[in-house]
Structure 1
Amino acid sequence: MPRSMSMKIAAAIVTLLALGACIQWQSLGYYSRVILDGENSRAVEDAPTLRARPLCSFGGDSTCVRLFVVGDWGSGMATQVAVARAMAFVARTERPHAVISTGDNFYPSGVAQAQDPLFRTRWEQVYADSALQVPWIIALGNHDHRGSIDAQIAYGRQNRRWYLPAPYYAVTVAAAQTAVALFVLDTDVLLSDRSSRRRQLRWLDSALAVTTATVKIVVGHHPLRSYGLYGDTEVLVEQLKPILDRRGVMLYLCGHDHDIQVIEHPADRFVCVVSGNGGKSRRTRYGAFTKVAWTGGGFVYLACRADTSVVAQVIASDAHALWCDTLGVHRQGLEPRTR
């Protein structure tokens, strides 16, 4: 090989190594800033300015299903109290049919029994406003698994607002012309136990195949897509995503990252919504396919309509709407890709 060619190849290798080191350094810098910020951050990197805007109201629309989505809420911190007040304020006019919890319902280690005082101090008392006395559709998070899952299920038999009949299950919420089928997964076990993963995914595939609901939504704790601290969950991308693509799922709702993100990845036929900002608040960032990202406490308000579209709004802990967009319509008919 001519010396000039060898030198070009060597220079190219050095350039690639330098680029890789730069990317790793940038990522390391981001993760370091996340850790230094702690759980009360309001920082969103590479973000456009979000300003308060009028709420898109659907409270008077009898044909749509209205859902609040909040996760990682059971901290007992000031963020949880502020977000609960915001939820109550919006709920008084919007009248949600249900609240969806994306998990980590009780920090740091779940609950020990159905009579655990955390049910009262972290949930009943915090979300006591009359406008929030609607069913809570519960997913389990990794912190919940540090305690007793059976206790959370048993509590649901005592308090019918706490809807958790099993670690994973399906439920339909309907209003007039619209039915929303929710398929709630136990992603902590799905990720850690291969046999449970197979069972859950087979169940999900079969359940999605037979539903006739207007809108199909899958709920888990761990993010399939995220630009926050945890990033994409590879097992979910590889094994859950094909089912969501094939079965016409509109949204994948999750938490785990303590922020709010809406991600429309071009390889997906569904939209990923991270809503894990209900009790803690961690630095996050925009990525290549971010539609919106927020941290500082908040929740997501979904209005599911009879035409299969979903209007999503990000509501901050001061009860101001920050972002609103219609999801889903333009994604129908896209051919799914593997990554």
Structure 2
Amino acid sequence: MKYTLFTILALSGCLYGQAQDRISPFEYEKQTGYTGKNIQGLSYSEDSFNFVVLGDFGRVGDYYQRDVAREMGHATVALDAEFILSVGDNFYPDGVQSTRDYHWISSFEAIYTDPNLYRPWYVALGNHDYRGNVQAQIDYSAVSRRWNMPDRYYKKTFELENGKKLLLLVMDTNPFIKSYHKNPEKYDGIVAQDTAAQLRWLEQELANNDPSIGWKMVVGHHPLYSGGVRKESKDTKQFEQQFADLFDKYRVDAYICGHEHDLQIIKPAGRFTTQYLSGAGSEVRQSGEREGTIFAATEPGFLTFSIVNNQLIVQVVKANADGGTVLYQHFSSK
């Protein structure tokens, strides 16, 4: 009888532990005292690798920045995200002057205050960042535990649950925009950047044939394609001409960008690489469609990325004063 009772108790304890393991990260945090809210429609998958993508955000909390920041915190909890990715234009209108610029407080530290946003931020440079001191953003990596910008362009490799790796290449796309070179006073140091060296680095990293690399993603500020206000921009078309074939050649799974102040997913016919645009971190401008548009929205918000074995799930999150809502889910498989 004692053995039977012990067996029942042990089994019930095991089942309880399994039940605890099965609850979502958000439910767990709520049990332990987290006061945030969940996002309507946001899906979490067990054994997934997750991150949140933000762009074009630093406006002293104005426009929609505080709403987006609040919902980013909720998404990071709900997905147990590994990191936050910024695609640039981190400070408007003219970057930062130094690591002690008050913009760091007013547009970053005092805005992204959810405790779960104190995870690594991997940060790219936008054109507005070039209007200030780019080196100050690099140097801030030594000031903040969460801000990571080791150089103007860099790579990160992440271990996934299934033993594969995610290769993340963060570009500095600004020197490749030819129109910026006509105004070197506005874009400090743009002319001095060695685009040939960066291109060699990019191609060398993309050519890595390590069989453990399951996913290749490139991050940059400027889009290859847009259905928004820069749809017919010469800068956009030239950037596409420089990089679309290269990304297809090396089978880049995702190109992640901003610059347009909206939310877009685009994959033109015949292309391998899908572009994910997350530029609605504060200000919002009119979006639209073009050939290959999968989704487009004129809404404030961000994207979440989840890798589960051989599937990528991208969720488009709208954020406003009423809370957060998933507008669209995009699935792709290897």
Q: TM-score, normalised by structure 1?
A: 0.77
Q: Which residue of 2 aligns with 1:32?
A: none
Q: CA deviation at 1:265?
A: 0.8
Q: Which residue of 1 aligns with 2:53?
A: 69
CA distance in 2 between counterparts of 1:328 and 1:217 reads 14
Q: CA deviation at 1:197?
A: 2.5
**1:235/1:286 Cα in 2 relative to 1: closer, same or farther (>3 Å)?**
closer
> Could you tell me whether the CA contact under 8 Å between 2:176 and 2:239 is conserved in 1?
no
Q: Which residue of 2 aligns with 1:146?
A: 131
Please state whether the residue corresponding to 2:177 is helix, strand or coil: helix
**Of 41, 48, 62, the match for 1:54:** 41
Aligned residue type for 1:219? V
Q: Which residue of 1 aligns with 2:14?
A: none
- Of 250-259 and 211-220, more deviation after overlay is shown by 211-220
Q: Which residue of 2 aligns with 1:125?
A: 110
Q: Does 1:314 align with 2:316?
A: yes
Q: Does 1:157 align with 2:142?
A: yes
**1:158/1:195 Cα in 2 relative to 1: closer, same or farther (>3 Å)?**
closer
Q: CA deviation at 1:108?
A: 0.4
Q: CA deviation at 1:194?
A: 9.7
Q: CA deviation at 1:55?
A: 1.7
CA distance in 1 between counterparts of 2:196 and 2:166 reads 25
**Of 206, 209, 213, the match for 1:208:** 206
CA distance in 2 between counterparts of 1:226 and 1:53 reads 27
Q: Please list the CA deviations of residues 265-298 of structure 1 after superposition, one character each: whole Å capped at 9, or x if unmatched.
A: 1132110111000011001112232111112200
| Structure 2 residues not aligned, in runs of 5+ | 1-38, 179-190
**Of 79, 95, 104, the match for 2:80:** 95
Q: Which residue of 2 aligns with 1:115?
A: 100
Aligned residue type for 1:237? E
Q: Please list the CA deviations of residues 291-327 of structure 1 after superposition, one character each: whole Å capped at 9, or x if unmatched.
A: 11112200000102321x3101100103111111212
Please state whether the residue corresponding to 2:291 is helix, strand or coil: coil
CA distance in 2 between counterparts of 1:176 and 1:287 reads 36
Aligned residue type for 2:270? A
Aligned residue type for 1:182? L
Aligned residue type for 1:314? V
**Of 261, 271, 285, the match for 1:268:** 271
> Percent of counterpart pairs with the same letter?
33
Aligned residues: 274
Q: CA deviation at 1:227?
A: 0.7
RMSD between superposed Cα atoms in Å: 1.8
Q: Does 1:81 align with 2:61?
A: no
CA distance in 1 between counterparts of 2:241 and 2:147 reads 32
CA distance in 1 between counterparts of 2:204 and 2:140 reads 28
Q: Which residue of 2 aligns with 1:188?
A: 174
Aligned residue type for 1:154? D
**1:125/1:194 Cα in 2 relative to 1: closer, same or farther (>3 Å)?**
closer
> Could you tell me whether the CA contact under 8 Å between 2:51 and 2:81 is conserved in 1?
yes
Q: Does 1:302 align with 2:305?
A: yes
Q: Which residue of 2 aligns with 1:27?
A: none
Q: Please list the CA deviations of residues 76-96 of structure 1 after superposition, one character each: whole Å capped at 9, or x if unmatched.
A: 213010000111122222111
